Amino acid sequence: MANGGTGTATATAPETATERGALTHPDLHRLDDVNRDVLKMLGRPGKGWWALFGLAATGVGVFLTAWLLIQVPFGIGVSGLNSPVGWGVYITTFVFWVGIAHSGTLISAILFLFRAPWRQSIYRAAEAMTVFAVMTAGLFPLIHVGRLWHAYWLIPYPNSRFLWPNFKSPLIWDVFAITTYFTVSATFFFLGTIPDIAAARDRATGLRKKFYTVISLGWQGTDSQWHHFGKAYIYLAALATPLVLSVHSVVSWDFAMSIVPGWHTTIFAPYFVAGAIYSGIAMVITLIVPMRKIFGLEAYLTTKHFDAMAKLMLLTSLIVLYAYLCEFFLAWYSGEEVERTAFWNRLFGNYWWATWIMLTCNGFVPVMLWFKRVRHSIPALFVISFFVNIGMWFERYVIVVTSLHHEYEPFAWGMYRPSVVEMCILVGSFCWFGFWFLLFTRLLPPIAIQELKEVMPPPMRKKATTQGADS
Amino acid sequence: MSRDLAERDDGIKRRDFLRVVGVTGAGATLTGCSTAEVEKLLPYVVADESITPGVATWYTTVCGGCAAECGMWVRTREGRAVKVEGNPDHPVSEGGLCSRGHATLQHLYHPDRFHGPMIREGTVFRQGTWDEAERLLAARITRAQNPANTVDGGSVMFVGGHMSPSMGRLVDEFVGALGGTRVDYDAVTDAPLLEAARIAYGTSSLPRYDIGAARLLLSFGYDFVESGASPVEHGKGLSRMSAVNDESHAKGSFVFLGPRLSLTGLNADEWIPIRAGSEASVALGMASAIAGPGSTGPYANLLQSYSPAAAAQAAGVSVEAIEALARRFASESPSLALGPGTGAHHRNATAANLAVMILNDVAGNVGTTVHYDPAAAGGLAGASSSFSGIEDATRAMASGEVGVAFVHGTNRAYSLPASAGFREAFERVPFKVSFASAMDETSALADLILPDRHFLESWGDSTPRPGVMAIQQPVMQAVPLFDSKQAGDTLLAVGGHLGQDLGAATFYEYLRGHHLAAAGGSTEDFESGWRQALRLGAVEFDAPDAAVPQLRSPQTALTFDAPAFDGSGDLTLIVHPSARFGGGEFSNSPWLQELPDPVSKITWHSWLEMNPATGEERGIRTGDIVTVASPHGSLEVPVWLYPGIREDAVALAMGGGHTGMGRYADGNGVNALDLLPAVAEQPSGALVTLATTVSVTATGRGRRLATIEGSSDQYDRPIAPAVQLALLGEAVEGAEEEHGELMAPQGVGGFVPVPAEGGAPAAFPLEGARHGEYAQAHEGPRWAMAIDLDKCTGCSACVTACQSENNVPWVGEEQVMMGRDMNWIRIERYYEHVDATQAGDLDVRFLPMLCQHCGNAPCEPVCPVFATYHTPEGVNAQVYNRCVGTRYCANNCPYKVRVFNWYRYTGDIPEPLNWQWNPDVTVRDNGVMEKCSFCMQRIRDAENRAALEEGRPVRDGEVVPACEQSCPAEAIVFGNIRDPNARVTQIVASERTYRVLDELINTQPAVNYLKKVTFHEVVSEAH
Amino acid sequence: MNRNWLIGGLAGVLALGALAFVQGGGAEGAGAEGEEAVLQPIAFPHDLHAGSEEGQANMDCQFCHFSAERSVDAGIPSVSTCWGCHQVVQGTNNPGEVAKIQGYWDRGEPIPWVRIYKISDHAHFPHMRHINAGLECQQCHGEVQEVGPEGLHTRSGIARSLFGADAGIGENGPVWGGDTMGWCIECHREPNPEGLQQASTDCAVCHY
């Protein structure tokens, strides 16, 4: 991945070039362009932003109503859940959002450690996405439980009952995994923004200035501060990296630890992690394409970035597809009747459509990414990323629902149809996510100013290079 | 919270009327935070010696549910009946009790009961006082009796249903004194059988069957397990007769002849799908084959004219099958033939019953397995209700001869075909009196309603069979909300107003007086007998000599030919009593509405049974709504495709389609009687239920059935295996080979020292069972259960018993459709081999599926808060108030026995229905998981009692879960598997023992099943 | 300076969070103690009946709470029980209160005592097992025989007399843990001194 950028250097770029930054941002010339362009985004919001924000806010309203005013008072029965299908859209969406949360840290931490050249201009958005996605995901276990008011019993704390949670239960592992991941990624995200917030502070006035002053933690940009900043950043990156792998492994164990045919599989951890990164990258693309348009960041988000992300998507799509095939093969190879029936039922049973949506979106559509022309066409990538998002949601739906509805006891087989409330909460969760993300694009520099500058050719040297190229 | 308040209020009201100490846990809810409101403790004003708060008091009585009159134990707490159970000391029912029996408790507390006498004023009813009502009635009778009165005068007519002997006598005396007439009628009746018995043997009571003694049992469509004269007794007989004996490997076989497999039929080893109405031909064909040419006897000539060939022709089955069966019937004696029963009351029903009697007689079964009590020996004469009687009554009413009409214990307007015109005729009667305790279709027409008491509140007696006398005693003071009065007392009071002298002031005196007279007047031994009757629930005195009666020659000319069917439809309509509602009198019980039908597994609504082949050729699938049209009516009903019915027949159950019975009955399903003609079978006069053909056309609409059935195919999984009788003895080795060494160590399973290779019982806990919180060595009991699938008849009595004992709520049709039924026991029904086209082996497996209390429970490690865990006593416990509701345990339960409270189901239960709640069991609230607890409260109760007396450990048989207690088939045994002498330990040592799915996933359940035993070879791999 | 400001802020947030936790735990434990003052229908003095001091009747608890040793419920005396004695004992201290008994007796009404000791509906407490294990009523109910009418008169009163050092309970200290499960567990965990059957800590012993 490290030299993913150079591997696809465009024809216009001289192979001998050393400033990889120059290749990444060919149209950026002066450092203060960056400040200007990026901080401009924090200015007065346009109509488009308000429209989106209004939409998101309404969605959040629906979301909270459906959950707190309908489901909690009346009971979880307002969902379509039943016996045998005790988990449905809620858990599906939970896993989906946890998955989304992954690429952020991947791009910002892992690619940072690998010194991948193309991360600078997208990692801020990706990180923000991570934080908000975890915020969203974290809600779903709460939405899902039958007695929300007792959900805190899952937290180990000394209590009057002398009772502790069951540390054997994967659900408890989840509690730890998610909270840890949220803490670290949030800290990492915030730390990375400090210098840029300071930059914003220096330009801002009035209330905004106060706000930035507080959260910039008195950043002055002195050498010592930069020194500490760099250290802290790299340590956090090192700390966050293993989490990318661990968190979704733990989530996958929610299923793998059970004995449900279709859940009880050893490949779940790598399979889920790959899927998570896959869906995460897709979501990044889905988010930054419109952002790029709205804020006119063409100079900052070039085809090179998209090309690199497309390749990452292609790779992970292959891993995921492999995992699918692996599951089906092993089900057949095990010779176990229950296992075989379960997977046959996946492909051709009552929920065949979900499975085929999953396979099409995740397995077949991304094949187009083999073609450079596709990778370089931003509209195409945008559409593909959408397919992948849909496909990845259905992947979780297939795993959760089809496995449960046909289990060991044929007489107890049943069907599950999501209810309106569940749908409201599903859609609402996207609005909730969008709500925070939109706020972010307004309040914090969505592109890392400082790091961009690092990889940009200093003005005087740009002249030199151009001369060199001319001669 | 709000729930909690409601609860508290009810609590106060309840205690107010009972004047008792507050009951811990009575109507307990999980919303435990009771800080807000003040709870009152209301002591007795004067303490009742017989009541210790918190300690249950038991009474014996007689179940008033149906004419079978099973013995009943009633558990009362603080003077409140909270559970009914079978009385083991009762000679007829021997401890069994059917679902309907359990559900009678709901009628006791039914919110639809009248709050007092209702007097019609114009179109509405006004609640009056008893004195007022009785005086009014007396006045109207005198007025009607006045010969001068031509406006609304006329005779007195008493239309009764099933009532106790003394009550019947009182009614006769009362009506007789007024020169009136009494007619009894029941849609579900054995009148043809009774009539046939009268013709053949001159007896006035139904024949008694000793089913348990038979080696070969034939049923000509007689549904004796679910309906019929005495379901519990006969069900018990069937399981005793057909269950294999593990020592001698003896096993009686059961052959079912009929167009449709009822629950009874599903228990058969062989099914001969004879055409509807051909029972007589088949029976006589067999009889002639057995009797041979040179036979004598009154029916010899008749038999000459019949032959197996003709029978096969009429029945549409192979002649070989009938000949073979005839040979077996003669050789495998004692054999027994039953039939045809209510499901096959066609126009020649009496003849058909007579034919079956002849068959029994020819095979020499009379006196061994069939007993005809000499005339006037009592017995079930009360069931001698006739439809023709009702026809006369209807005519009399319509012609205005009747001035005052009483209706007691029956719901005419519902249980008669619309074309009988009873409703119209009844409306013409000037003054109509109903004794119904709750509104129903008939009472809605009445002018005066005198609400009768529930049998748990009233006195009565019963003679379920000659030589047995049982007393029905009130087990609690009448529910105060309902100002009711026992019909007997009402009649006596009215009689008093009319100047009659019926020899008693109260019905209790009348009853006692009669029995005193019967006992020959000697008071002291009467007293002892009376007390014994009350204590044991029944007394047996030497039965009249059962001299084998001789078959008489017929005085009445009967035709044994196939009956005529109305209409030109291509499908014969079978209308049969519902296994849950009987003829419809039980339809207002939510327990029974929610109880999955033992055959179709459908709840709440009606369905039309149709053979899949028939459905296919018409493009009708399960769930399609069709129009069923007969010459007499038509109705719309969803189809359920059922391989157990002939391709030329469809079937509808009675009991649905109520319009004015109550909140739980109305609007559920359709009334099958609407399709029937109002025809009386001659000579018995019973209503003809197998009378018409219908045409079935799809409406193009469909619906989701409220069924609990997922798939009736067990996909060769080790769920409900069976073993061939011939293989018993080698079965174990056979099984080992099947699954190979891989399974051998796990095949041993849970707690039970099953004889492994080498015989040494497996140590406990087994390796690998450590996941179940077994770390600490425990010396106490290890609870386990054994269920013998060769005995289980699938009657589902255990389901209702469990629901009653454990405060399991009902959820309603919508929720069941979503798959949210709450029952802790699910009777699974898997088809192995069902063929409706020809005679052959039948293999249907019933499996009562409850929490298996796995030694290696998948549900336990996944619970994040230890809400479910394993007790040291081997029970998989569920701590309701610890449950957060992640539902992971349910997902991970391979048996799918965990049910979740999706809503606050217990909150919708109206007063005073919730008074039935068991105070010893927590009432679960919204959002928690629940499941079978092995009746933990009963275990604790037994432990407490054992500890109180000399602190001894619990003895075997002291803990009896509700399901085991009520099981008529004696299929369930519970006990401490650590005790080598415990019944469960010994039963489980059988070679037939296995554990569901254990060899597949090593769950090591505490529930051990004993394989069903078949006569044919078992093909399924699951074996 | 900004930095200090922030550190303070963070510390505050943490403190609040911790507080919330403790509160959560506490509230859980608090169980069924209501504080609203509710008058008992009759100001019943337990000390005069059960106390062993001079001028006190020194009656056995189970004379009135009759079913404690054979039932899960301890039992509340029937009006006839009270009236049995009090139709002769007019009561020296407070005849007015005693007279009320006759009122209830004549009207044939139960006395609507306000419930003080309440265990959650989802927990089962068999009195007889504890009595027969040799426990004293006081071990759970406190030194009830020392509680006068003022103590029992209101719910908060009983709470005070049992928890607070006042109302003459003194040395034995507060006993009634109300609904807190830990309070039961503590006792059940103790190895049994008299060699009686060791109490069980199995959840299903009380919760079913």
Tell me A106's DSSP state. I
For residue range A209-222, list pLDDT tens digits in order. Answer: 888 888 888 888 88
Q: Do residues B209 and B181 both lie within one domain?
A: no
Closest residue in B to A166 (Cα–Cα): B864
Among B311, B344, B371, the domain boundary falls at: B371
Question: So what's the pLDDT on residue A459?
Answer: 57
* Backbone φ and ψ of C109, nearest 5°: -100, 150
Closest residue in B to C131 (Cα–Cα): B948
* Backbone φ and ψ of B860, nearest 5°: -75, -50
B792 has pLDDT over 90: yes
With a CB cutoff of 8 Å and minimum separation 6, the contacts of B813 are B603, B604, B605, B668, B706
Question: So what's the pLDDT on residue C6?
Answer: 55
Question: So what's the pLDDT on residue B302?
Answer: 80
Cα–Cα dist B99/B810, whole Å = 15
B387 has pLDDT over 70: no
Q: What CATH number has the domain bearing residue B362?
A: 3.40.228.10
C117 has pLDDT over 70: yes
Domain assignment present for B862: yes
For residue range B437-451, list pLDDT tens digits in order. Answer: 888 888 888 899 999
Q: What is the mean pLDDT of chain B?
A: 82
Q: Do residues B838 and B925 both lie within one domain?
A: yes
List the beta bridge partners of residue B60.
Answer: B73
**Chain C contact for A164, CB < 8 A?**
no
Mean pLDDT score, B847-855: 92
pLDDT grade, residue B773 (50/70/90)? very low
The ipTM is 0.85
Domain assignment present for B551: no
For residue range B176-211, list pLDDT tens digits in order. Answer: 888 888 887 766 777 888 888 888 887 777 888 889
**Chain B contact for A85, CB < 8 A?**
yes
Q: What angle do CA B27, B33, B36 make, to 5 degrees?
A: 100
Are C70 and B55 an interchain contact pair (Cβ–Cβ within 8 Å)? Answer: yes
Tell me B430's DSSP state. S
pLDDT grade, residue B19 (50/70/90)? very low
pLDDT grade, residue C82 (50/70/90)? confident
Cα–Cα dist B75/B59, whole Å = 7
Contacts A150 to B, Cβ<8 Å: 884
For residue range C33-68, list pLDDT tens digits in order. Answer: 444 444 678 888 888 888 888 878 888 888 888 888
Q: Do residues B237 and B313 both lie within one domain?
A: yes
Question: So what's the pLDDT on residue A466?
Answer: 43
Q: Range with the lowest mean pLDDT among A199-203, B88-92, B187-191?
A: B187-191
Mean pLDDT score, B224-236: 88
- R_g (Cα) of chain A, nearest Å: 24
Q: What CATH number has the domain bearing residue B969?
A: 3.30.70.20
Are A159 and C28 an interchain contact pair (Cβ–Cβ within 8 Å)? Answer: yes
User: Which residue bears the tokens 């990375």?
Assistant: A192
Q: Do residues B680 and B619 both lie within one domain?
A: yes
Chain A residues 215-244 within an 8 A CB cutoff of chain C: 216-218
B256 has pLDDT over 80: yes
Cα–Cα dist B632/B630, whole Å = 5
Question: So what's the pLDDT on residue A298?
Answer: 80
Domain that holds residue B535: 118-188+381-463+468-540
Cα–Cα dist A53/A431, whole Å = 9
Among B325, B345, B371, the domain boundary falls at: B371
Are C181 and A161 an interchain contact pair (Cβ–Cβ within 8 Å)? Answer: yes
- Number of separate helices (H) and strands (E) present in chain B: 29, 39
Contact B319, B312 (CB under 8 A): yes
| Structure-token pair, residue A234 | 């790299």
Q: Range with the lowest mean pLDDT among B24-28, B281-285, B710-714, B723-727?
A: B24-28
Give the residue from B818, B897, B995 with the most A CB atoms within 10 Å of its CB, the best one to mutate: B818
Are C26 and A160 an interchain contact pair (Cβ–Cβ within 8 Å)? Answer: yes
Cα–Cα dist B642/B343, whole Å = 17
Are B41 and C112 an interchain contact pair (Cβ–Cβ within 8 Å)? Answer: yes
Among B653, B670, B702, the domain boundary falls at: B702
Closest residue in A to C201 (Cα–Cα): A162
With a CB cutoff of 8 Å and minimum separation 6, the contacts of A51 are none
Residue C28 Cα, gap to closest chain A Cα (Å): 7
A275 has pLDDT over 50: yes
Are A160 and C182 an interchain contact pair (Cβ–Cβ within 8 Å)? Answer: yes
Query: How far is CA B848 from each of CA B99, B234, B448, B803, B876, rounded to the nearest angstrom?
Result: 15, 20, 46, 14, 18
Q: Do residues B970 and B928 both lie within one domain?
A: yes
Residue B53 Cα, gap to closest chain C Cα (Å): 6
Question: So what's the pLDDT on residue A244?
Answer: 83
| Structure-token pair, residue B92 | 């007829």
Q: Choose between B520 and B725: higher pLDDT.
A: B725
Q: Which of C175, C160, C151 is nearest to C45 (CA)?
A: C151
B220 has pLDDT over 60: yes
Q: Do residues B352 and B415 both lie within one domain?
A: no
Contact B934, B785 (CB under 8 A): yes
Cα–Cα dist A455/A26, whole Å = 11
Q: Which of A450, A453, A452, A36 is nearest to A203 (CA)?
A: A36
Query: How far is CA C46 from each of CA C57, C62, C173, rounded to the nearest angstrom?
Result: 10, 13, 18
A228 has pLDDT over 50: yes
Are C208 and B38 an interchain contact pair (Cβ–Cβ within 8 Å)? Answer: no
Contacts C78 to B, Cβ<8 Å: 43-47
Mean pLDDT score, B848-871: 90
In this complex, the residue of B21, B44, B936 whose CB is nearest that of residue C73 is B21
Mean pLDDT score, B251-270: 92
Contact B120, B446 (CB under 8 A): yes
For residue range A393-420, list pLDDT tens digits in order. Answer: 999 999 999 999 999 999 999 999 999 9
Contact B708, B365 (CB under 8 A): no
C158 has pLDDT over 60: no
Mean pLDDT score, B999-1017: 87
Contact B642, B600 (CB under 8 A): yes
Question: So what's the pLDDT on residue B739?
Answer: 35
DSSP per-residue codes, B9-50: HHHHHHHHHHT-PPPTTTT--S-----SSPPEE---SS--TT
**Chain C contact for A149, CB < 8 A?**
no
B453 has pLDDT over 60: yes
* Backbone φ and ψ of B216, nearest 5°: -130, 125
For residue range A332-356, list pLDDT tens digits in order. Answer: 998 888 999 999 999 998 999 999 9
C172 has pLDDT over 70: no
| Structure-token pair, residue A156 | 């180990």
For residue range B625-649, list pLDDT tens digits in order. Answer: 999 999 988 999 999 999 999 999 9
Residue C31 Cα, gap to closest chain B Cα (Å): 6
Cα–Cα dist B171/B160, whole Å = 9
Q: Do residues B949 and B812 both lie within one domain?
A: yes
Q: Range with the lowest mean pLDDT among B94-108, B831-845, B979-993, C31-45?
A: C31-45
Cα–Cα dist B35/B33, whole Å = 6
With a CB cutoff of 8 Å and minimum separation 6, the contacts of B957 are B975, B983
Question: So what's the pLDDT on residue B763?
Answer: 43
Domain assignment present for B290: yes
Question: So what's the pLDDT on residue A359?
Answer: 92
Contact B68, B464 (CB under 8 A): yes
Question: So what's the pLDDT on residue C165?
Answer: 37
Q: Do residues B459 and B584 both lie within one domain?
A: no
Residue B85: how many CB atoms within 10 A of its CB? 23
C154 has pLDDT over 60: no
Are C203 and B869 an interchain contact pair (Cβ–Cβ within 8 Å)? Answer: yes
Are C208 and B42 an interchain contact pair (Cβ–Cβ within 8 Å)? Answer: no
Domain assignment present for B17: no
Mean pLDDT score, B822-840: 91
Mean pLDDT score, A285-305: 83
pLDDT grade, residue B67 (50/70/90)? confident
- What are the contacts of A359-363 at 24+ separation with CB within 8 A? A359/A324, A360/A387, A360/A391, A361/A387, A361/A388, A361/A390, A361/A391, A361/A392, A361/A394, A362/A275, A362/A278, A362/A317, A362/A320, A362/A321, A362/A324, A362/A388, A362/A391, A362/A392, A362/A395, A363/A317, A363/A320, A363/A321, A363/A324
Mean pLDDT score, B589-613: 94
pTM value is 0.86
Mean pLDDT score, B835-852: 91
Question: So what's the pLDDT on residue B532?
Answer: 80
Contact B964, B815 (CB under 8 A): no
Are A214 and C181 an interchain contact pair (Cβ–Cβ within 8 Å)? Answer: no
Cα–Cα dist B317/B314, whole Å = 8
**DSSP helix/strand/coil, A278:** helix
pLDDT grade, residue A446 (50/70/90)? confident
Which chains would you list as touching C if contact means 3+ CB atom pairs under 8 Å?
A, B
Which chains would you list as touching A if contact means 3+ CB atom pairs under 8 Å?
B, C
Q: Range with the lowest mean pLDDT among A29-43, B827-841, B881-895, C162-176?
A: C162-176
With a CB cutoff of 8 Å and minimum separation 6, the contacts of B756 are B744, B747, B748, B762
Question: So what's the pLDDT on residue B764?
Answer: 44
pLDDT grade, residue A63 (50/70/90)? very high
- R_g (Cα) of chain C, nearest Å: 22
Tell me A181's DSSP state. H
Question: So what's the pLDDT on residue C81?
Answer: 86
Are B28 and C128 an interchain contact pair (Cβ–Cβ within 8 Å)? Answer: no
Contacts B895 to A, Cβ<8 Å: 408-409, 412
Mean pLDDT score, B799-805: 94
C21 has pLDDT over 80: no
Residue A209 Cα, gap to closest chain C Cα (Å): 14
Question: So what's the pLDDT on residue A29?
Answer: 63
Q: What is the mean pLDDT of chain C?
A: 71
**Cis, bond preceding B43 (omega within 30 deg of 0):** no
B215 has pLDDT over 50: yes
B677 has pLDDT over 50: yes
Tell me how many domains chain B contains: 4
pLDDT grade, residue B863 (50/70/90)? very high
Give the residue from B41, B77, B774, B936 with the most C CB atoms within 10 Å of its CB, the best one to mutate: B41
